[in-house]
């Protein structure tokens, strides 16, 4: 299978162990900005926009979590990075899990932030396909207005998220929804992951409940959960210090501090 990768737009800060931060759906690299000042003196932060989002190419005729993982590998090659710690938020976590499966030799550590290893249930899949249909007929406003309150209870964060969602195109959102609906169950390869795995979960997350973090960590060789009770689905924006500290714990576990 030939995977046609694109050159992702990327922002970098600091130096040290490379830590790649993958954003969730339908957002962009800016979700990580609150933690940049907290980590850039300790690690080399690499913030790409995933295909279709932010400033990255809008090529979405093909779109899958596996292809998005190949885009991330191509980025590491372009930056001459042999191994990195990869942290994926929600959909970015689905991409990070595909990366761990396909390119284990390029991974130093894995963080799943408000994410999960499970595939969609039939009901969740159906709901996504309905959302895709609604976005096609009503436009981006449908999710730009409806989604932020599910992501965070904080009004200022909701406003920022709504702006990020509004900047997305309809074809990208539809492609990403279908790709998430079609994604594989990652549980079977969790026991094969040889690097440290951290699951960060928000106690108030309405989209990915905390149990998902605990169930995936049970299956890995070396891993732990950090629960942030007051956070919802966006811990890096809602509790940046705790999220940054958690990610630094992983960098240390992966590399020794």
Q: Does 91 bind ligand MLT (CB under 6 A)?
A: yes
Q: Does 68 bind ligand MLT (CB under 6 A)?
A: no
As a whole number of angstroms, the distance between CA 243 and CA 228 comes to: 8
Q: Is 35 in a helix, a strand, or coil?
A: helix
Among 18, 24, 54, 196, binds ligand MLT (CB under 6 A): 24
Q: Does 200 bind ligand MLT (CB under 6 A)?
A: no
| Residues 33-62 interacting with ligand MLT (rule: CB under 6 A) | none
Q: Does 90 bind ligand MLT (CB under 6 A)?
A: yes
Tell me how far, at minimum, the Cβ of 71 lies from ligand MLT, in Å: 16
Phi, psi of 255 (to 5 degrees): -125, -15
- Kindly tell me the burial class for residue 171, based on how many C-beta atoms sit within 10 Å of its own C-beta (0-12, 13-18, 19 or more): middle
Among 172, 207, 210, 253, binds ligand MLT (CB under 6 A): 207
Contact 107, 84 (CB under 8 A): yes
Nearer of residues 85 and 236 to ligand MLT, judged by Cβ: 236
Structure tokens that stand for 191 in this block? 């026991």
Nearer of residues 232 and 240 to ligand MLT, judged by Cβ: 232
Tell me how far, at minimum, the Cβ of 163 lies from ligand MLT, in Å: 16
Tell me how far, at minimum, the Cβ of 211 lies from ligand MLT, in Å: 15
Contact pattern from residue 152 through residue 191 relative to ligand MLT, giving x for each residue in contact according to CB under 6 A and a dash for the rest: ----------------------------x-----------
As a whole number of angstroms, the distance between CA 4 and CA 19 comes to: 24
Tell me how far, at minimum, the Cβ of 132 lies from ligand MLT, in Å: 12
Q: 182: which residues sit within 8 A by CB, 6+ positions away?
A: 64
Phi, psi of 251 (to 5 degrees): -55, -40
Q: What angle do CA 57, 62, 66 make, to 5 degrees?
A: 95
Residues forming the site for ligand MLT (CB under 6 A): 24-25, 90-91, 180, 207
């Amino acid at each position: 299978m030939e995977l046609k990768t694109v050159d992702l737009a990327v922002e970098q800060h600091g130096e040290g162990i490379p830590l790649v931060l993958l954003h969730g759906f339908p957002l962009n690299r800016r979700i990580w900005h609150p933690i940049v000042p907290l980590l850039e003196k300790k690690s080399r932060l690499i913030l790409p926009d995933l295909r279709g989002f932010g400033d990255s190419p809008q090529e979405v005729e093909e779109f899958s979590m596996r292809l998005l993982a190949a885009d991330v590998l191509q980025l590491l090659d372009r930056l001459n990075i042999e191994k990195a710690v990869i942290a994926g938020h929600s959909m970015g976590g689905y991409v990070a899990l595909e990366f761990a499966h396909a390119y284990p030799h390029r991974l130093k550590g894995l963080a799943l932030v408000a994410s999960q290893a499970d595939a969609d249930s039939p009901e969740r899949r159906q709901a996504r396909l309905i959302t895709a249909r609604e976005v096609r007929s009503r436009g981006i406003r449908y999710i730009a207005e409806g989604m932020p309150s599910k992501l965070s209870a904080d009004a200022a964060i909701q406003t920022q998220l709504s702006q990020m969602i509004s900047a997305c195109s309809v074809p990208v959102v539809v492609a990403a929804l279908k790709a998430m609906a079609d994604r594989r169950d990652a549980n079977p390869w969790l026991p094969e992951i040889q690097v440290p795995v951290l699951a960060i979960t928000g106690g108030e997350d309405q989209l990915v409940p905390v149990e998902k973090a605990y169930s995936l960590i049970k299956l890995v060789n070396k891993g732990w959960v950090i629960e942030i009770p007051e956070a919802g689905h966006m811990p890096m924006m809602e509790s940046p210090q705790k999220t940054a500290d958690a990610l630094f714990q992983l960098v240390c576990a992966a590399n020794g501090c």
